[in-house]
Structure 1
Amino acid sequence: MKPIFENIDVAIDSSLKIATYNHTQNCETSNWHIHPEYELVYIKNGGGILRIDNKTLPYDDGVLLLLGPNIPHADFGNKEHKNNLEVVAQFRKEFIEEKLAVFPEFNALKNLVQESKKGLLFESQTKDIVALEFEKLNSLNSSQRLIHFILILDKIMVEGHYETILGHARLNSYKSIDVDRLESIFEYVNEHYDEKISIAFLASRQGLTINSFCRFFKKMTKGSFVQFLNEFRTRKALGFFNVTQLSVSEVMYKCGYNDPSYFTRQFKKYHGTTPSGYLSTKV
């Protein structure tokens, strides 16, 4: 079975996405999926199964792993202990190549990132070394989280011992042109979500007819482009509500909507409440 493409939505005030899950929470995408971002996963304790590409690996006391881009996998978490914690950090190649790479101190990180294209499973001692830093992340603001994440990368880079999960770098089962097309679509939406985006324009940009574009997007993501765009925009709206003092109408326009009733319906569809209802909980 081919994996579903997942779009990783990074918050407006962050350089990467860090999500934490406890005993009662589930990862947003638990099915078989794939994405072009790197993914660093820490699981505090308990046992479970790692399903990565064509490998099925058990773990019995938590796990720490780093996956490179476009490696198919499922959710790694478990519900064995009530004090369990799963932390998932996802970042684009630009985070390494354009941001951290400007510092010569991170030259060794390039080797680790290159190796991660085979998937890296770290020894338990390495997990223990960085455990406290992972467990602090959820209580920190965005700048503190970035600093702690860099500290985690540094400790893994300097003291980490690992084995590769796959025998070679992943060769994607999708055609290269399909992967490039989907990444191009995701990138365009990420940069222009506040503007009018038409399927006709995106289809033309990819050299496809409208019908071909819609079939392609559904084949790759198992959903329609309109659904994806509305979910993406309402998540951005949620981010604006969380980190700014903007009004509902200001956020609506910033997220590419110009119809208040449509914006309200879509926000409620994906977040279970209206924009004004969500804001009232933050007062």
Structure 2
Amino acid sequence: MKPILESINVARDASLKIEAYSNDSYCESAGWHIHPEYEMVYVKNGSGVLRIGSKKRYYTNGVLVFLGGNIPHADFGNREHSDNLEIVIQFKKEFLDEKLKVFPELGRINSLIKKSKQVLIFDSEIQKKLWPDFKKFGDLDHQSKLINLLFILDQLSRETPHELLFETFSLDNFKKDEIKRLEEIFEYVNNHYSSTISLSEISTQLGLTPNSFCRFFKKMTQRTFIDFVNEFRINKAVELFNESNTLITEVMYQSGFNDPSYFSRQFKKYQGTTPSNYLKSKYGNLLLQDASL
């Protein structure tokens, strides 16, 4: 089965995306998917199966796995225990090439990240040892999350026991040109979401007609381009609301919407509530009033 290419939305003021999922706030299944970002997953406990590329590995009592970008995989977590927690850390290739690489002191960490292209499954002893450090991500700001991740990577780079799932991993079966084209689309949306996104412009940039572009995007992601753009913009709107108690219309324009009623419908579609109710739940009586959205 061909993997669906997933878009990872990293916050504007962060280099990483770090999410924590419990049995009460479980990650919605992405199915069999692929994305260019590196991914580290810590599953606290319970039994499950890792489906990565052509490999299948069962685990008991949790797992710590680190895989490079563009490696197809299914979801890793499980709901076997009520106190289970799954921490998912994702970052782009630029995090390694443009940020970490400038520090020669981080040589071991750079080597570890590069080795993740073979997929690393770490020993249960180091998994348990690092549990307090993974657990604390939920209480940290962006700067502290970065520092905490570097500490974890430092620990993992120090000859810790691990299994290499692949001797080498080839993308030949997954059409590198198609993956590269999807990456260009995601990057275009990330750079232009706050303004008008021209289907004609992005199609031309990729050497496609608008119709062939839409067919290609639907084939690779199982969703329409406009649906993807709207959800991306709503996620950015949520980021802006979470940063400060601001006017709804300001966030609407900053996230790329121009019609208040359309913005409200799309917000409710992807967040399950209206913008005003979202803000009320977050800021209560301190809510700034500007529209009944």
Q: TM-score, normalised by structure 1?
A: 0.97
Contact 1:12–1:240 (8 Å) recurs in 2: no
Identity across matched positions, percent? 52
Map Cα deviations across residues 163-220 of structure 1 (whole Å, 9 max, x no partner).
Answer: 1112312324232221111100101111111110021111111110011000000011
Per the alignment, residue 95 of structure 2 pairs with: 95
Structure 1 pair 201–98 and aligned structure 2 pair: CA distance change class (3 A): same
Q: Secondary structure at the match of 1:110?
A: helix
Matched, 1:51 2:76: no
Per the alignment, residue 249 of structure 2 pairs with: 249
User: Any gaps of 5 or more consecutive residues in structure 1?
Assistant: none
Contact 1:126–1:159 (8 Å) recurs in 2: no
Contact 1:70–1:172 (8 Å) recurs in 2: no
**Equivalent-residue separation in structure 1 for 2:206 and 2:242 (angstroms):** 34
Deviates more, 1:224-233 or 1:174-183: 174-183
Per the alignment, residue 29 of structure 1 pairs with: 29
Letter of the 2:203 counterpart: A
Contact 2:245–2:279 (8 Å) recurs in 1: no
Per the alignment, residue 259 of structure 2 pairs with: 259
Contact 1:43–1:87 (8 Å) recurs in 2: yes
Query: What's the C-alpha RMSD, in Å, of the aligned pairs?
Result: 1.2
Per the alignment, residue 192 of structure 2 pairs with: 192
Per the alignment, residue 155 of structure 2 pairs with: 155
Contact 1:117–1:170 (8 Å) recurs in 2: no
Structure 1 pair 47–72 and aligned structure 2 pair: CA distance change class (3 A): same
- Aligned runs of 1:112-191 on 2, under 5 Å? 112-191=112-191
Contact 2:40–2:65 (8 Å) recurs in 1: yes
Letter of the 1:157 counterpart: S
- Aligned runs of 1:206-245 on 2, under 5 Å? 206-245=206-245
Q: Secondary structure at the match of 1:282?
A: helix
**Equivalent-residue separation in structure 2 for 1:113 and 1:145 (angstroms):** 17
Contact 1:70–1:170 (8 Å) recurs in 2: no
Q: Secondary structure at the match of 1:87?
A: strand
Q: Secondary structure at the match of 2:157?
A: helix
Deviates more, 1:212-221 or 1:165-174: 165-174
**Equivalent-residue separation in structure 2 for 1:30 and 1:214 (angstroms):** 21
Per the alignment, residue 70 of structure 1 pairs with: 70
Q: Secondary structure at the match of 1:181?
A: helix
**Equivalent-residue separation in structure 2 for 1:148 and 1:172 (angstroms):** 35
Q: TM-score, normalised by structure 2?
A: 0.93
Structure 1 pair 172–275 and aligned structure 2 pair: CA distance change class (3 A): farther
Letter of the 1:95 counterpart: F
Please state how far the C-alpha of 1:143 moved relative to its aligned partner: 1.8
Q: Secondary structure at the match of 1:27?
A: coil
Q: How many equivalent residue pairs?
A: 283
**Equivalent-residue separation in structure 2 for 1:96 and 1:244 (angstroms):** 30
Per the alignment, residue 288 of structure 2 pairs with: none
Letter of the 1:178 counterpart: E
Per the alignment, residue 38 of structure 2 pairs with: 38
Please state how far the C-alpha of 1:232 moved relative to its aligned partner: 0.2
**Equivalent-residue separation in structure 1 for 2:281 and 2:24 (angstroms):** 22
Q: Secondary structure at the match of 2:147?
A: helix
Map Cα deviations across residues 48-78 of structure 1 (whole Å, 9 max, x no partner).
Answer: 1111111111001110010101111111111
Per the alignment, residue 106 of structure 2 pairs with: 106
Contact 2:43–2:84 (8 Å) recurs in 1: yes
Per the alignment, residue 279 of structure 1 pairs with: 279
**Equivalent-residue separation in structure 1 for 2:217 and 2:6 (angstroms):** 12
**Equivalent-residue separation in structure 2 for 1:89 and 1:12 (angstroms):** 16
